[in-house]
């Protein structure tokens, strides 16, 4: 495969090239280059050995889109897939690739209302993406006619074989046009698949995508199950445990990217957002800063991360679950490059267990589940890093001015308390357990606490101590019961026992800032809140 080849070199129309450009694709993968080149020259039956993550949907989708007519009224293409999640994924991908070409793509699978499918088929469909069982249902009803199909694509054939669909596949193939072009894609090609090929395919060629496969052998893959409210806290704990963290955080939407980037910055991390709303000069500036380690964290969408070529990432974290198995492989393939080990972490909510299991199944991997580090674990890891850093500095050249200062202090003070005082002065905030929020998913450990939002912050001259004093000036409670104090520019958070929280809320019940309460219960997992001060407000 020529790695310098671009999609523009493959005879693709400007319409599809623009669609590819919007998706951030310029260079085809191995399977894409081979299949597109072959089908654009001649309609050739083929078997593509294409593991998940090699871009096979675009490989067959692009030439099919280019070769289909917009004037036909019958079904021109049938794409068979083993499960409904893949049917939805393939249909979505084809719709994103077709550009302005008026081709009707429709997914058909079990679990979707039959009436809706019957209505859509009656109105007309060019490309049907379906699961074997539901396709046979429509064939038996007479609501689907495959006698005029020009292309039949069998995707994930080895998976259909493992699920016992091979007889259904043969039944469907026997009811399609004899003049069709048949494309079969599978990660492996066992004898059973070769038997189907010999029976239903004509002079087929076998194309391998091995040379273009995204490799993840050097990537450690783990996942953590967290409730949605704990995602940010979980992310921060993982960053803290890593120490020298240098990675990509993947989110699903642009708004989520912005939100997470701001939240990380608020917590003191060197983080930036990267998404499609940004102008190219701004994007290039952020990427260059990240490459030069002026940033430790880049929060991005899948599309924005296309083309990022950085080889020494320590982590890729799926803050939001990838949409499909291919996206997962593309994301985590950014670690473990150039002989360096990397870690791929996925945060999974309880509601996402089924989709996460599907992603693992399609990628033929079992990813271990881990327990989120506790506050004690993080502080222990930080303490070890502090000790290592001090010993490393000790073994190097020490500046004379600090040696003189040390001698003066040692003449007047005992060594151990003196060193403890220095460590406390430098690292007290770093090793403060109150920097970490309790996990909402484990409320039993929170001691019946309540988290409150206070609409005052640094711009009002507040520090942690001044905020506590402000609360105590209005409510008679013991100061040690005000915990986990966080002060941002325009607002703050505190955590207090429920009884004291109720008293604070009652005392501030009529106090407002603008139209908002001055003190209110924080939303679960909230770490920041947009706040605009109004002139003359409290």
Check whether residue 276 and residue 336 sit in a common domain: yes
pLDDT in tens, 454-508: 988 999 999 999 999 999 988 888 888 888 899 998 889 998 887 788 888 888 8
Domain with residue 460: its CATH number is 3.30.70.330
Task: Report CA-CA distances (Å) from 409 to 262, 402, 405, 415, 416.
Answer: 42, 10, 6, 9, 12
Task: Reply yes or no on whether the pLDDT at 140 is more than 80.
Answer: yes
Token pair in block for residue 309: 């070529």
Length of the chain: 538
Exposed/middle/buried for residue 25 (C-beta within 10 Å: 0-12, 13-18, 19+): buried
Give pLDDT, residue 122.
Answer: 94
Check whether residue 369 and residue 421 sit in a common domain: no
Residue 469 lies in a domain: yes
Residue 168 lies in a domain: yes
Residue 298 lies in a domain: yes
Check whether residue 208 and residue 224 sit in a common domain: no
- State which of 409, 434, 459 marks the end of a domain: 434
Check whether residue 417 and residue 359 sit in a common domain: no
Residue 151 lies in a domain: yes
Token pair in block for residue 538: 């409290």
Check whether residue 252 and residue 318 sit in a common domain: yes
Provide mean pLDDT across the span 396-405: 91
Domain with residue 55: its CATH number is 3.40.50.300
Give pLDDT, residue 506.
Answer: 80
Check whether residue 188 and residue 230 sit in a common domain: no
Helices (H) and strands (E) counted in the chain, each on its own, are: 20, 19
- State which of 374, 405, 425 marks the end of a domain: 374
pLDDT in tens, 241-288: 988 899 999 998 888 999 999 889 888 899 999 987 777 678 778 988
- The per-residue pLDDT of the chain, averaged, comes to 85
Tell me, rounded to whole angstroms, the distance of Cα 478 from its chain centroid: 43
Residue 531 lies in a domain: no
Residue 530 lies in a domain: no
Give pLDDT, residue 530.
Answer: 47
pLDDT in tens, 213-229: 444 555 789 999 998 88
Provide mean pLDDT across the span 13-40: 89
Check whether residue 157 and residue 252 sit in a common domain: no
- Which of the four pLDDT bands, split at 50, 70 and 90, describes residue 445? very low
| Owning domain of residue 294 | 219-374
Check whether residue 143 and residue 84 sit in a common domain: yes
Per the structure, how many domains does the chain have?
A: 4
Task: Reply yes or no on whether the pLDDT at 22 is more than 90.
Answer: no
Residue 534 lies in a domain: no
SS3 content of the chain, % helix, strand, coil (to 5): 45, 15, 40
Check whether residue 60 and residue 130 sit in a common domain: yes
- Which of the four pLDDT bands, split at 50, 70 and 90, describes residue 535? very low
Check whether residue 496 and residue 510 sit in a common domain: yes
Residue 245 lies in a domain: yes
Check whether residue 346 and residue 281 sit in a common domain: yes
Check whether residue 241 and residue 120 sit in a common domain: no
């Amino acid at each position: 495969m020529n790695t310098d080849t671009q999609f523009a070199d493959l005879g693709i129309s400007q319409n599809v090239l623009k669609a590819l450009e919007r998706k951030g694709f310029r260079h085809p993968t191995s399977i894409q280059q081979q299949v597109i080149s072959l089908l654009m020259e001649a309609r050739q039956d083929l078997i593509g050995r294409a593991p998940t993550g090699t871009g096979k949907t675009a490989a067959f989708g692009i030439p099919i889109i280019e070769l289909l007519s917009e004037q036909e009224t019958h079904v021109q293409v049938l794409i068979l897939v083993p499960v409904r999640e893949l049917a939805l994924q393939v249909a979505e991908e084809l719709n994103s690739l077709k550009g302005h070409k008026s081709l009707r793509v429709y997914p058909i699978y079990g679990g979707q209302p039959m009436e809706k499918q019957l209505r859509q088929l009656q109105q007309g469909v060019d490309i049907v993406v379906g699961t074997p069982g539901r396709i046979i249902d429509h064939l038996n009803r007479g609501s689907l006619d495959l006698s005029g199909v020009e292309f039949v694509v069998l995707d994930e054939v080895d998976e259909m074989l493992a699920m016992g669909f091979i007889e259904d596949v043969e039944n469907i193939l026997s009811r399609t046009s004899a003049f069709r072009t048949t494309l079969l894609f599978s990660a492996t090609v066992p004898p059973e698949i070769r038997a189907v090929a010999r029976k239903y395919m004509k002079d087929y060629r076998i194309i391998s995508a091995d040379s273009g496969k995204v490799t993840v052998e050097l990537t450690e893959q783990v996942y953590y199950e967290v409730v949605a409210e704990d995602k940010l806290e979980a992310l921060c704990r993982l960053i803290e445990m890593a120490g020298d963290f240098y990675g990509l955080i993947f989110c699903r939407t642009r708004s989520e990217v912005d939100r997470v980037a701001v939240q990380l910055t608020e917590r003191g991390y060197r983080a930036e957002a990267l998404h499609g709303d940004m102008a190219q000069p701004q994007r290039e500036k952020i990427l260059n800063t990240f490459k030069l380690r002026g940033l430790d964290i880049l929060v991005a969408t899948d599309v924005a991360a296309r083309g990022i070529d950085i080889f020494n990432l320590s982590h890729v974290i799926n803050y939001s679950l990838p949409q499909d198995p291919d996206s997962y492989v593309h994301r985590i393939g950014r670690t473990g490059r150039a002989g360096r080990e990397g870690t791929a972490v996925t945060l999974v909510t309880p509601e996402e267990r089924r989709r996460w299991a599907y992603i693992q199944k399609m990628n033929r991997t079992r990813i271990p589940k881990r327990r989120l580090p506790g506050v004690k674990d993080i502080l222990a890891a930080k303490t070890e890093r502090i000790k290592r850093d001090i010993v490393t500095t000790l073994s190097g050249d020490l500046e004379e001015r600090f040696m003189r200062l040390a001698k003066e202090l040692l003449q007047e003070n005992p060594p151990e308390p003196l060193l403890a005082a220095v460590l406390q002065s430098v690292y007290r905030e770093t090793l403060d357990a109150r920097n970490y929020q309790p996990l909402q998913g484990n409320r039993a450990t929170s001691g019946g606490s309540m988290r409150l939002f206070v609409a005052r912050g640094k711009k009002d001259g507040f520090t942690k101590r001044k905020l506590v004093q402000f609360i105590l000036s209005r409510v008679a409670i013991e100061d040690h019961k005000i915990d986990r104090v966080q002060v941002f520019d325009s607002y703050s958070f505190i955590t207090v026992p429920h009884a004291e929280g109720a008293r604070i809320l009652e005392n501030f019940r009529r106090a407002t800032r603008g139209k908002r309460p001055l003190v209110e219960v924080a939303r679960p997992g909230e770490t920041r809140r947009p706040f605009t001060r109004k002139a003359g407000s409290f």
